[in-house]
């Protein structure tokens, strides 16, 4: 029997987590850009978005490491939110008082720096799965596909590298930054409105940055759908916020907006999603952890994956609500 380890569940690549709580490190193997970057100062949003998209497109690490060396991720979506956006204080009310504001995690990481919240920006991105990976899982109903497990394992390792690559480039240009979920201070908490939750949520950062809203299963529905992973960095740099084209946190979900669909509940192999009770986090986690044995049998020790609620549904690859 696999013992449930909640911290491991959230932070899948623990080997690199300790090092990632700091800003850029001299001598990193990641490719570097020049410290003097005029484009970053004149148009920071465009420059940062270019870094994220170029790294995803060109890095050989964007791979599920199968025989075909298929990519894990398509072109990302990128958004920004201000460090002083009131929504981060609202998360303390709705998620729990332990959920960090951008200022709190920045000060934990850089205690010697005097900084105001309006000097900070949350940089958020969405990594959409490839069509081949989605199609592979779409056909499954009980056990996840090997490609999906590989994307969860190796694709998230790439996501960690992307986070650190961005922090490294920003630091070289004089803008210290931190990856909240890889911080040594990151942890899971019990309490608040939703029971178990973490001190930083990538999905909530993406919601704040105009990238998507939540569905019945709690997955984030974006312009490129729900079969995605999220990433974020908090940096001391001023970037114009991406407008949020919604006010309802369920605006892109057919079930909540139209009273139809609910297919994510039908797809869930662990009975963790229902039209009556929405998302049962504990049941969801148990379902994900049961896939670890299957992953081991495939030779992917330490891997796991589920994702049934993200595929074979109307919001798999798009926002299903007409503009």
Domain assignments of the chain as residue spans, ordered by start: 17-26+34-310
**Does residue 5 or residue 18 have the better pLDDT?**
5
Sign of the dihedral through C-alpha 231, 237, 238, 240? negative
Residues with Cβ within 8 Å of residue 67, at least 6 apart in sequence: none
pLDDT of residue 196: 76
Contacts of 228 (CB under 8 A, 6+ apart): 126, 127, 128, 129, 220, 222, 310
Helix axes 156-172, 44-58, angle to 10 degrees: 140
Give the per-residue pLDDT at 193: 64
The C-alpha atoms of residue 219 and residue 249 are separated, in whole angstroms, by 11
Provide the pLDDT confidence category of residue 234 given band limits of 50, 70 and 90.
very high
Going by pLDDT thresholds of 50, 70 and 90, the confidence category of residue 18 is very low
CB atoms < 10 A from the CB of 46, how many? 13
Structure token digits, residue 259? 């009273």
Q: Do 179 and 167 meet the contact criterion of CB atoms below 8 Å apart?
A: yes
Contact call for residues 163 and 179 (beta carbons, < 8 A): yes
| Rounded Cα–Cα distance for residues 5 and 64 (Å) | 24
Residues 6+ apart with CB under 8 A from 267: 141, 308, 309, 311, 312, 313
- Strand runs (DSSP E) across the chain, as ranges? 77-82, 121-128, 177-178, 188-190, 196-198, 212-214, 220-222, 228-235, 273-274, 278-279
pLDDT exceeds cutoff 50 at 4:
no
**37: confidence class by pLDDT, cuts 50, 70, 90:** confident
Residue % of the chain over a pLDDT of 70: 87
- Segment 53-79 shows an average pLDDT of 98
Q: How far apart are CA 213 and CA 252, in angstroms?
A: 6
- 302 contact partners, CB below 8 Å, separation of at least 6: 12, 153, 292, 295
* DSSP assignments along 32-92, one per residue: ---S--HHHHH-HHHHHHHHHHHHHHH-TTSS--STT---SB-SPEEEEEETT-THHHHHH
Q: Residue 189: what pLDDT?
A: 85
User: Would you state the pLDDT for residue 14?
Assistant: 34
> For the chain, what percent of residues have pLDDT higher than 90?
79
For 125-173, what is each residue's pLDDT tens digit? Answer: 999 999 999 999 999 999 999 999 999 999 999 999 999 999 999 999 9
Among 250, 231, 54, smallest CA distance to 156 is for: 231
User: 126 forms bridges with which residues in the sheet?
Assistant: 77, 230
pLDDT of residue 269: 93
What would the pLDDT profile of 89-128 be if each residue is shown by its tens digit? 999 998 999 999 999 999 999 999 999 999 999 999 999 9
Residue 9 has pLDDT above 50, yes or no: no
pLDDT at 223: 98
Indicate whether 191 pLDDT > 70: no
**Distance (Å, whole) CA 253 – CA 219:** 10
Q: Do residues 128 and 76 make contact, with C-beta atoms less than 8 angstroms apart? A: yes
């Amino acid at each position: 029997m696999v013992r449930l380890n909640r911290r491991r569940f959230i932070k899948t690549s623990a080997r690199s987590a300790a090092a990632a709580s700091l800003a850029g490190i001299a001598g990193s193997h990641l490719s570097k850009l020049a410290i003097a970057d005029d484009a970053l100062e004149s148009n920071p949003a465009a420059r940062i978005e270019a870094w994220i998209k170029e790294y995803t497109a060109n890095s050989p690490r964007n791979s599920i490491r199968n025989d075909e060396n298929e990519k894990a991720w398509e072109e990302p979506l990128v958004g920004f939110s201000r460090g002083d956006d009131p929504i981060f204080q609202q998360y303390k009310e709705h998620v729990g008082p332990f959920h960090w504001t951008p200022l709190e995690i920045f000060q934990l990481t850089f205690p010697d720096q005097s900084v105001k919240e309006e000097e900070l920006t949350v940089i958020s991105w969405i990594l959409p799965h490839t069509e081949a990976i989605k199609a592979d899982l779409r056909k499954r109903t009980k056990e996840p596909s090997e490609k999906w497990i590989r994307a969860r394992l190796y694709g998230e390792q790439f996501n960690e590298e992307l986070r650190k690559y961005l922090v490294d480039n920003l630091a070289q240009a004089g803008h210290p930054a931190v990856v909240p979920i890889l911080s040594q201070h990151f942890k899971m908490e019990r309490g608040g409105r939703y029971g178990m939750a973490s001190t930083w949520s990538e999905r909530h950062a993406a919601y704040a940055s105009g990238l998507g809203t939540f569905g019945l299963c709690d997955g984030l529905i974006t312009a490129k759908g729900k079969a995605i992973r999220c990433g974020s960095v908090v940096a001391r740099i001023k970037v114009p916020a991406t407008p949020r084209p919604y006010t309802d946190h369920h605006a892109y979900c057919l079930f909540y907006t139209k009273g139809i669909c609910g297919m994510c509940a039908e797809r869930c192999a662990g009975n963790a999603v229902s039209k009556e009770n929405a998302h049962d986090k504990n049941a969801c986690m148990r379902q994900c952890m049961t896939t670890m044995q299957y992953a081991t049998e495939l030779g992917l020790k330490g891997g796991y994956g589920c994702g049934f609620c993200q595929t074979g549904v109307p919001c798999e690859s798009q926002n299903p609500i007409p503009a």
